[in-house]
Amino acid sequence: MENTVETRKKRVLSMIQPTGVFTLGNYLGALRNFVALQDDYECVYALADLHAITVRQEPAAFRKNTLSAYAMMLALGINPEKSIFFIQSQVPEHAQLAWILNCYTQFGELSRMTQFKDKAAKHADNVNAGLFTYPCLMAADILLYNADYVPVGADQKQHLELARNVAERFNGLYSPTFVVPEGLIPKTGARIMSLQDPTKKMSKSDDNTASFITMLDTPDQIIKKFRRAVTDSEACVRYGEGKDGINNLMGIYSSITGKTYAEIEREFDGRGYGDFKTAVGEAVVETLEPIQTRYKALVQDKAYLEKCYSEAAPRAEAIARRTLHKAMKKVGYLPTIR
């Protein structure tokens, strides 16, 4: 039985789309926090595979990516015994609550979502209704679990704000139903930028593979990508305006080593960008190597992965079902007798 509101640990929820190998941006902006939060909170995590089909997926690759993403999350340190770590499409309540929330979200609100505008521009031949109502599904993901905190990178802030607004609107129309969640956005690493165009977010869907680091890049690839990273001509490692490339590398280095910008500036005082880029690359390699080793073993073990996600879905569903039924009752649906 779920603990009462007074005594239960605060709950954390977050998800990630399993559309390809995760990037360093995903890791520093979100995934690293998912792992750390497990010590102090009751954590619910999932692969957002319903969200993933707002962009066309090739079925065999999609299936493979979902399984690989599941293995990667375990390799990162998501503990399937401590946390609930499931696959979104295996818990039907997400789609059910998303439909209801669609009817409590305005066209105008969804039109303002910058991610929708970006993705609609990028996939102009497939601006589907799911892409537009995506934030309602994300709101459902969060609200179903009465999440107190939602760890995300900065790019999800607008979606989170929408989830809060929808929750408040529903609660106001009826009576308190949903917990209004708070975002947990890290101080450093919340917005890792492209290594080739540091005014753009690092993204695995970028056509230029030199612009992002994936969790499975080899040490050689990582060092090369950092050495080729776009910087400026000042040749002075300092954080400042007009230095987007260096600012980004300093953000990555700081986020990994815990060093402040002042400490980094001192460390590389009088040294060129070459030294600094190598140091950032090496720090990333050192962080990713043990994760890659664990990943390689886990991804082979299909039976174990299947056991983990199959056990997680009913645990998630037990929580989600209660919230869904509570919301349905408020709306005026007759009770479901099964």
What is the distance between the alpha carbons of residues 10 and 169, in angstroms, rounded to a whole number? 23
Q: How far is the CB of 122 from ligand TYM (least distance, A)?
A: 13
Which listed residue (38, 54, 156, 214) binds ligand TYM by CB under 6 A? 156
Q: Which is nearer to ligand TYM, 152 or 308 (CB)?
A: 152
Residue in 64, 119, 157, 187 annotated catalytic: 119
What is the distance between the alpha carbons of residues 161 and 182, in angstroms, rounded to a whole number? 9
122 counts as catalytic: no
Contact indicator for 65, 32 with CB cutoff of 8 Å:
no
Q: How far is the CB of 52 from ligand TYM (least distance, A)?
A: 8
284, 260, 277, 286: which is closest to 188 by C-alpha? 260
Q: Which is nearer to ligand TYM, 118 or 301 (CB)?
A: 118
Quick one: which segment of 13-21, 264-272, 298-306, 311-319 binds ligand TYM (CB under 6 A)?
13-21
Q: Which is nearer to ligand TYM, 236 or 239 (CB)?
A: 239
152 contributes a contact to ligand TYM by CB under 6 A: yes
The one-letter code for the residue type at 110 is L
What is the distance between the alpha carbons of residues 121 and 131, in angstroms, rounded to a whole number? 12
254 contributes a contact to ligand TYM by CB under 6 A: no
23, 3, 20, 21: which is closest to 11 by C-alpha? 3
Q: How far is the CB of 338 from ligand TYM (least distance, A)?
A: 27
Residue for token digits 């991610």? 115
119 counts as catalytic: yes
Q: Which is nearer to ligand TYM, 164 or 277 (CB)?
A: 164
Q: Which of residues 37-76 bind ligand TYM (CB under 6 A)?
A: 48, 51
Q: Which is nearer to ligand TYM, 65 or 156 (CB)?
A: 156
Phi, psi angle pair for 201, to nearest 5°: -65, 140
Phi, psi angle pair for 189, to nearest 5°: 90, 0
204 counts as catalytic: yes
What is the distance between the alpha carbons of residues 253 and 245, in angstroms, rounded to a whole number? 12
Which listed residue (32, 119, 164, 201) binds ligand TYM by CB under 6 A? 201
Residue nearest to ligand TYM according to CB distances in the complex = 29
Q: Which is nearer to ligand TYM, 77 or 267 (CB)?
A: 77
Which H helix or E strand runs over 221? helix 219-227
333, 307, 337: which is closest to 97 by C-alpha? 333
Q: Which of residues 83-102 bind ligand TYM (CB under 6 A)?
A: none
What is the distance between the alpha carbons of residues 91 and 113, in angstroms, rounded to a whole number? 26
15 contributes a contact to ligand TYM by CB under 6 A: yes
What is the distance between the alpha carbons of residues 72 and 189, in angstroms, rounded to a whole number? 19
What is the distance between the alpha carbons of residues 216 and 150, in angstroms, rounded to a whole number? 26
Q: Which of residues 159-198 bind ligand TYM (CB under 6 A)?
A: 159, 190-192
Q: Which are the catalytic amino acids?
A: 119, 201, 204
Query: Which residues lie near ligand TYM (CB under 6 A)?
Result: 13-17, 25-26, 29-30, 48, 51, 138, 141-142, 150, 152-153, 155-156, 159, 190-192, 201-202
